[in-house]
Structure 1
Amino acid sequence: MSPLTVPFSQFVLKVHSRCDLACDHCYVYEHADTSWRGKPRAVSERVLVAAAERIAEHARAHRLPAVHVVLHGGEPLLAGPVLLRRAAEELHRALPPGCALDLRIHTNGVLLSRAFCDLFAELEIKVGISLDGDREANDRHRRFADGRSSHDKVLAAIGLLRLPEYRHLYAGLLCTIDVENDPVAVYDALVALEPPRIDFLLPHATWDQPPKRPDGAGQTPYADWLMAVYDRWTSQGRPVPVRTFDSVHRTLRGQSSLTESLGLDPADLVVIETDGTLEQADSLKTAYDGAPATGFDLFEHSLDEVAAHPRMVERQSGLAGLCEKCRSCPVVRSCGGGLYAHRYRSGRDFDNPSVFCGDLMRLITTIRDRVVTRAAVPAQVAPVEPALTERQLDELARGYGSAPTVAALAAAQLGVTRRLLAALAGEPAEPWSLLTELDASAPEALDAVLAHPYVRAWAVRCLSGEPGADLGTLAEVAAAAALRAGLDFELPVPVRGGAVHLPTLGRVLTVGAGQAELHGNADGFTVRGVRVGWDTASGEQWQPVRRLALAGGWTVALEDTDPQRDCHQWPVEDRLGEDELLNWAGALREAWELILRDMPGHAAGVRVGLGTVTPLRPGPAGRDVSAAARQAFGTVGIARPVTAPTLALLITHEFQHVKLGAVLDFHDLYDPEDQSRYYAPWRPDPRPLEGLLQGTYAHLAVSEYWASRVRAYDGLPGELADHARVELATWRAHTAQALDTLAGSRALTALGARFVEGMRAGLEPWLRLPLPAEAESAARRAAERNLAEWRARAALTGS
């Protein structure tokens, strides 16, 4: 898989390719694609087995904590209970330990019976129903082929799901919009059925086959229809989640969308047809005949190959995958260009805005301006480690690091953590016994926890005898790894600060102190009466580690639960509230897009090596605060700055420290006996050689960042442009001077001298970038003042 692609976590498994209704707005049978005619009516045993194996293979390869599978059609109930049982059993059988299965079926409800509901209750299959509203609205499209209404049968199906014994199966209602239906009547009819969620879908259309817009309905009838529903929904206190509206709210605040039709989140869905072919989203059937096809199937191709398909990659590329008009739109981060299928136009393919562009603009801006308080999200925005080769060291010396190079650093760091853990071997016996078992039976699950930055930080604290460090964390590590492996186990774990902590997973809030017995299995765990399943949402007691999957392939955890995270030089932030989490999500998304665009040489290393960002408390007087902990590879600590570009600067700056620290663990670049102190142009105090080396290496990225800002303002006047030019002049001069100091120190090893020359080569492009004389003069005057102040302090202190 390309490093820019995103693994699939959602799978639509077609179990039957025909339907017992004849809905005239159906995207499968009534639009441009006719491939359904050549598909087997029902999925075969061979396809079910292959599908389960491919999904499991993908989950293992990408260490997916869960996969979401929807049994679909046509009408999936036509497949019958035997095939549906086999599908569920094969998926449960094949998935690796630690990967949860969220299994659902989407049906028109006509055939739903108690027998099916009993089967779904046994197999834990949730049920979603298609219904377009009251009888009049539903009968406009959802009829049998002979014209009979389906409404009564669908209501009877929903009635079953509302019974107490089946209520837990009820997943929600899906309604396709027809602007000729009364929006309030449709909404009221759906809400009366007490669904746990409602989805309103725009009817599928393209620029070639535009949606109907009745005379007198205005320019944006779909937005107007949805806003009438929105007003009714809000006036009632939002009695049920509505995915469209919730997605608009979330994206306006910088969080991910809940639907593919809004937002810039990468597409992570693949369709498995009844014949085993692998296709893109079904909605593409509206574009042209064969539009969803990939040319791949379960028997000859892996899901990674499908994820690398150009169309899939395009739908995972966020802003870069949109047309020029969309990229410059003020609501693009909420709209996301709309549903991919709705952008199609003959001759221009999908390089267009959505055919519902005007409606989406009106809907989003109306919600934004009338009722949504806008968040302060900036608008811009193996035990034996492998040795690094000379080529890899040269690559790192220039300030960068490809994915394989940074992966080699990470593997070496994992080896360090394993050795540190071995140095702690002994008591307590129970965790050690479980760790030994895991190392033999599930090393990947164990490594996933040992690679967590703060496991090494804790081990170093214990070995150095730091006050407060204890071996209780060993049980936490063992429990987290066993849960990832899906083991059935019991283990006493410590309760610290009113919580049980599980590295990489989260924490359970509880009462008291001492120890608690944790009982774990493949479905989750129980501790002090609290049951946590892998589908348990964040709540009052369970606080999972929140991870963000960003376009461009970077998945990053916002670590605000691990008590070992306080190893940065600044205080860490407490658990982020919902608003601040949204602010972080938006800022990280913007900062990552900037790094991808303006500092691509850093992006590959960040994507592979930086899996955790630890929020810090704000600095004094608005000062930007960030840090890298020497004993915590793979994380940086940052207090969220005001702007996303500053966040991009802090990420790349601090990750330089992370990389160089990992290099210094394995390669001698200087004489450790050197006790001299050196002038660092950016510091008021003299620095040891390692400190000077670290700072200089970090400022390669700082210089490149300001160079990218200067290029962005090329030829433009103004305060921001002038500031960027002075910053570049300052930081490249500081870095060049520090490189001269390092080279003249006589404390570098031969490898260190080579590394410093590589750093000089990495700085060279930014030294060559022309700047106005005023910027150079301003930087020179500031440097002279800094040096004079440093000399005065040195004279006073005798250093």
Structure 2
Amino acid sequence: MPFRQFVLKVHSRCDLACDHCYVYEHADQSWRSRPAVMSDETAAWAVTRIAEHVKSHGLAQVHVVLHGGEPLLAGHGRLGRLIAELRGGLGGLCALDLRVHTNGVLLDERFLDLFEEHDVRVGVSLDGDRAANDRHRRYADGRSSYDRVIRAVERLRRRPQLYAGLLCTIDVANDPGAVYRALAALEPPRVDFLLPHATWDSPPSRPTPTAYADWLIEIFEIWSAEGRVVPVRMFESILRTSRGAPSLTESLGLEPADLVVIETDGTYEQADSLKVAYEGAPATGLEVFHHDLDAVARHTGVLARQQGLGGLCATCRACPVVDSCGGGLYAHRYRTGSGFANPSVYSADLFKLITYIRRRTAMPTHSVPAATMDALSAGFGDQEDVRCLAAAQRTMRRALLAGVNAHETPTAGWELLTRLDDEHRDAVDAVLDHPYVREWAVRCLRQGGDAGYLANIAGAAAVRAGAVAEIAITAVDGVFHLPTLGAFEAGSATTARLVAEGGRFSLEDLPGAVWHPLRRLTAEGLSVVLEDTDPHRRCHGHPVAGRLTEEEAAAWQRVFAEAWALIESDHPAYASGLRAGLTTLVPLDPPAGGGSASSAARNAFGAVAVAPPADPATLALLLVHEFQHVKLGAVLDLVDLCDPTHTGLYYAPWRRESPRPLEALLQGVYAHLAVTDFWRVRRHRSEDGPGEVQFALWREQTARAIGDLDGSGGLTPLGARFVSGIRRTLEPWLDEPVSGQAAAAAAELAERYRAESAALRR
């Protein structure tokens, strides 16, 4: 197996005396017999050997790290010559990722000019805040290195193209939250947390059996809560390996080792973390002057680190997290007598950390708290109650997308989406919260086809994340839709390449495509999507409107703002839940026979479809009515309120064309509880008569339907409790006085509806 990572020890001494350093403070002391600095001749031979290896194995890219000791002690001139040698010797052969790792105390503007000229990225060792860093990273006379390191990092922050990240060696005596926040405040492109090098012969300081896991778990919780803004290589590697992707670090995962070290005297060594095991542990007996890298690759010590699962001890092979742990860092397995055929000395910590992260990031389970169920059964529910439902819907959408992917050949869309989910989960969640993502996924799983739209979802997430991405997306019904953003109209094209960077995006191969951006409706405390671009919105049982003109969109804005003001002033018990859960309004075509039309789709939580209303009050009623269906649909996704084997059919005055199954009757009762309440309040706000008639009609019809639910024998115990909540809300309204004229008119309407239903059934 070829090497792809090369560590050049350009200087073997250090200007700090860190007491946790594996080079100077552990078993192997070979640094004492080596030259302090790598000579130009040795550097030239090292470059020659790497170039030979690249050509022999056809490598497209290699990674070279200039290391020490402290590499900057080599000086500006010598480092400049080595870097130029590397660029010259490898530049025409392969891509070269060139980095330097330093303690930072000598990092000045002259070094940074040199690194900028040759595209060398810089990583800095820093153990956290001043207290944490000064615990170990000091000069030999005890002076602090902290201020000089911070100055170096600030210089790097002014040249972000050179800033590679920060490396922090863990000490559980330090406050993990303070360490993480100190590092995150420096805005590193990446943070590496390293377990201090130790073996079974020389175990780490450990106040509790899993002290290192507990320390890292505290940081993981902060990192997750704050949006994973700073990439952390250890956490990302656990997340990646848990879903089958390769690790980002040699200390985790089962990927074969592909790293070799070249010391200042030209000798090849294995990973220099092996210096903690015993004197001479990393040695190969080979050097650049007489041996090529293939000879090193055949060394038994190197081969031992390339066996994957087969190279681990029986305990590790049987471990349920071995795919992420990989046995831990090779050096940490050492014990006199059994060599490296042991679990890591950190095995208990790694097991706890990995299982914790897996549980914490696995698909969560959801339940509805009793207090939330009671609030919803009463017909209402505040922001927290509806957010409980929304959280479950988000998990359901994730599961459905995983299901679509499982039925298809792995796609670029899935790969991009999972990468973004690691790095930009908020952006992914924002796209997955779009109501019609679930509608699409359910149709895919039930009917097949249209799976390519997963790339559109991933592309939208990349745009929202500001990420760099290029992916082929699919046209649906003549548009290239990006959920939460809008759609490109591009004639007869069926695929196009979406290019995104920094929040900007375009169709690379369709420059003439017309972009229709998403528009929003806003009102006091509420903003919802006016969705007229998503091809998957055609699931509401009514014809949807096409792309609205600016004038039509403005008309919707006016009526929506007035309708919301009416809901907040006259129906505040519904406003809180609507504010938390209503995300999307879909315009429908006006019904051919006049009147109103509205719908909520079971697989589109958060969306309501409405035809242009006659007035703001009508829109307010339809929003309240349809959002009852949205809430109850989400409840029914989590719990059974009706026995699924029950086959009875029931009269419903709001759906007179045919008798309704029990669950549909429950949906109608729940929606018309809100309709009754709307007219109960509205009759006192309007001077026309219909309000009182409507109140009288729907309270009686809803009460009768509740009786049918109770007598059906088809409610589950939880369903019976839910219907009891509806009844408790309705019963006081039955005692409210209405005029005799209104009561008679309501009774006449009720009789007419029942007669119409009977006639339709005949």
Q: TM-score, normalised by structure 1?
A: 0.49
Q: C-alpha offsets along residues 132-177 of structure 1, whole Å, 9 cap, x if unaligned?
A: xxxxxxxxxxxxxxxxxxxxxxxxxxxxxxxxxxxxxxxxxxxxxx
Corresponding position: 1:697 with 2:664: no
Q: Which runs of 5+ in 1 are unaligned?
A: 1-85, 94-381, 533-539
Q: State how 1:444-523 maps to structure 2 within 5 Å.
A: 444-465=426-447, 469-523=449-503
Residue aligning to 1:434: 416
Kindly indicate whether structure 1 or structure 2 has the higher relative contact order, using CA contacts under 8 Å at least 6 residues apart: 1
- Tell me the CA shift for residue 530 of structure 1: 6.5
Larger Rg, first or second structure (1 or 2): 2
Give the 3-state SS of the residue equivalent to 2:496 in structure 1: strand
Q: Given that residues 625 and 639 in structure 1 are in contact (C-alpha distance below 8 angstroms), is that contact kept between their aligned partners in structure 2?
A: yes
Q: Which runs of 5+ in 2 are unaligned?
A: 1-153, 162-361
Residue aligning to 2:530: 558
Residue 611 of structure 2 is aligned with which of 639, 663, 668? Answer: 639
Corresponding position: 1:621 with 2:593: yes
Residue aligning to 1:763: 730
Q: Distance in 2 between matches of 1:617 and 1:421?
A: 31
Q: C-alpha offsets along residues 591-636 of structure 1, whole Å, 9 cap, x if unaligned?
A: 0000001110110111110100011111122120100111111101
Q: Distance in 1 between matches of 2:616 and 2:672?
A: 19
In structure 2, give the amino acid aligned to 1:785.
R
Q: Distance in 2 between matches of 1:619 and 1:566?
A: 15
Question: Cα 1:571–1:788, aligned 2, differ >3 Å: closer, same or farther?
Answer: closer
Question: Cα 1:581–1:572, aligned 2, differ >3 Å: closer, same or farther?
Answer: same
Corresponding position: 1:597 with 2:569: yes
Q: Distance in 2 between matches of 1:665 and 1:741?
A: 23
Higher mean C-alpha deviation, range 777-786 or range 587-596: 777-786
In structure 2, give the amino acid aligned to 1:451.
D
Residue 635 of structure 2 is aligned with which of 654, 663, 685? Answer: 663
In structure 2, give the amino acid aligned to 1:450.
L
Residue aligning to 2:519: 546
Residue aligning to 2:714: 747
- Tell me the CA shift for residue 497 of structure 1: 4.3
- Tell me the CA shift for residue 511 of structure 1: 4.0
Q: C-alpha offsets along residues 42-94 of structure 1, whole Å, 9 cap, x if unaligned?
A: xxxxxxxxxxxxxxxxxxxxxxxxxxxxxxxxxxxxxxxxxxxx9xx99x99x
- Tell me the CA shift for residue 770 of structure 1: 1.4
Residue aligning to 1:786: 753
Residue 385 of structure 2 is aligned with which of 388, 405, 418? Answer: 405
Residue aligning to 1:200: none
Q: Given that residues 386 and 581 in structure 2 are in contact (C-alpha distance below 8 angstroms), is that contact kept between their aligned partners in structure 1?
A: yes
Residue 654 of structure 1 is aligned with which of 626, 629, 633? Answer: 626
Q: Distance in 2 between matches of 1:523 and 1:409?
A: 30
Q: C-alpha offsets along residues 498-544 of structure 1, whole Å, 9 cap, x if unaligned?
A: 43210110012224413211110114012136779xxxxxxx82211
Give the 3-state SS of the residue equivalent to 1:622 in structure 2: coil
Give the 3-state SS of the residue equivalent to 1:642 in structure 2: coil
- Tell me the CA shift for residue 385 of structure 1: 4.1
Q: Given that residues 669 and 752 in structure 1 are in contact (C-alpha distance below 8 angstroms), is that contact kept between their aligned partners in structure 2?
A: yes
Q: Distance in 2 between matches of 1:417 and 1:742?
A: 31
Residue aligning to 2:744: 777
- Tell me the CA shift for residue 680 of structure 1: 1.3
Q: C-alpha offsets along residues 664-721 of structure 1, whole Å, 9 cap, x if unaligned?
A: 01111111101110111233221100110000100011001101111214xxxx6x1x
In structure 2, give the amino acid aligned to 1:430.
A
Question: Cα 1:664–1:498, aligned 2, differ >3 Å: closer, same or farther?
Answer: closer
Corresponding position: 1:527 with 2:489: no
In structure 1, give the amino acid aligned to 2:481.
H
Give the 3-state SS of the residue equivalent to 2:500 in structure 1: strand
Q: Given that residues 475 and 491 in structure 1 are in contact (C-alpha distance below 8 angstroms), is that contact kept between their aligned partners in structure 2?
A: yes
Higher mean C-alpha deviation, range 540-549 or range 570-579: 540-549
Q: Distance in 2 between matches of 1:651 and 1:412?
A: 22
Q: Distance in 1 between matches of 2:481 and 2:375?
A: 38
In structure 2, give the amino acid aligned to 1:701.
A
Q: C-alpha offsets along residues 391-442 of structure 1, whole Å, 9 cap, x if unaligned?
A: 1111001111110010010000111111111111243521111011012111
Give the 3-state SS of the residue equivalent to 2:562 in structure 1: helix
- Tell me the CA shift for residue 723 of structure 1: 1.1
Residue aligning to 1:115: none
Q: Distance in 2 between matches of 1:697 and 1:769?
A: 20
Corresponding position: 1:708 with 2:668: no
Residue aligning to 1:419: 399
Give the 3-state SS of the residue equivalent to 1:657 in structure 2: helix
Q: Distance in 2 between matches of 1:686 and 1:511?
A: 44
- Tell me the CA shift for residue 784 of structure 1: 2.2
Question: Cα 1:385–1:588, aligned 2, differ >3 Å: closer, same or farther?
Answer: farther
Give the 3-state SS of the residue equivalent to 2:481 in structure 1: strand
In structure 2, give the amino acid aligned to 1:488.
V
- Tell me the CA shift for residue 489 of structure 1: 1.1
Q: C-alpha offsets along residues 306-327 of structure 1, whole Å, 9 cap, x if unaligned?
A: xxxxxxxxxxxxxxxxxxxxxx
Q: Given that residues 682 and 734 in structure 1 are in contact (C-alpha distance below 8 angstroms), is that contact kept between their aligned partners in structure 2?
A: no
Q: Distance in 1 between matches of 2:493 and 2:693?
A: 55
Residue 727 of structure 1 is aligned with which of 653, 677, 694? Answer: 694
Q: Distance in 2 between matches of 1:578 and 1:691?
A: 38
Q: Given that residues 489 and 515 in structure 2 are in contact (C-alpha distance below 8 angstroms), is that contact kept between their aligned partners in structure 1?
A: yes
Q: Distance in 2 between matches of 1:385 and 1:571?
A: 36
CA RMSD of aligned residues (A): 2.2
- Tell me the CA shift for residue 568 of structure 1: 0.8
- Tell me the CA shift for residue 495 of structure 1: 3.0
Q: Given that residues 467 and 503 in structure 2 are in contact (C-alpha distance below 8 angstroms), is that contact kept between their aligned partners in structure 1?
A: no
Corresponding position: 1:737 with 2:704: yes
Q: Distance in 2 between matches of 1:694 and 1:391?
A: 21
- Tell me the CA shift for residue 652 of structure 1: 0.6
Residue 582 of structure 1 is aligned with which of 537, 544, 554? Answer: 554
Q: Distance in 1 between matches of 2:692 and 2:478?
A: 51
Q: Distance in 2 between matches of 1:507 and 1:395?
A: 39
Residue aligning to 2:661: 688
Q: Distance in 2 between matches of 1:499 and 1:683?
A: 35
Aligned length: 404
Q: C-alpha offsets along residues 716-767 of structure 1, whole Å, 9 cap, x if unaligned?
A: xx6x1x2111111001111111111111111111111110010011223432
Q: Distance in 2 between matches of 1:484 and 1:573?
A: 27
Residue aligning to 2:47: none
Question: Cα 1:478–1:523, aligned 2, differ >3 Å: closer, same or farther?
Answer: closer
| Identity across the alignment (%) | 47
Q: Distance in 2 between matches of 1:788 and 1:434?
A: 58
Q: State how 1:28-47 maps to structure 2 within 5 Å.
A: none
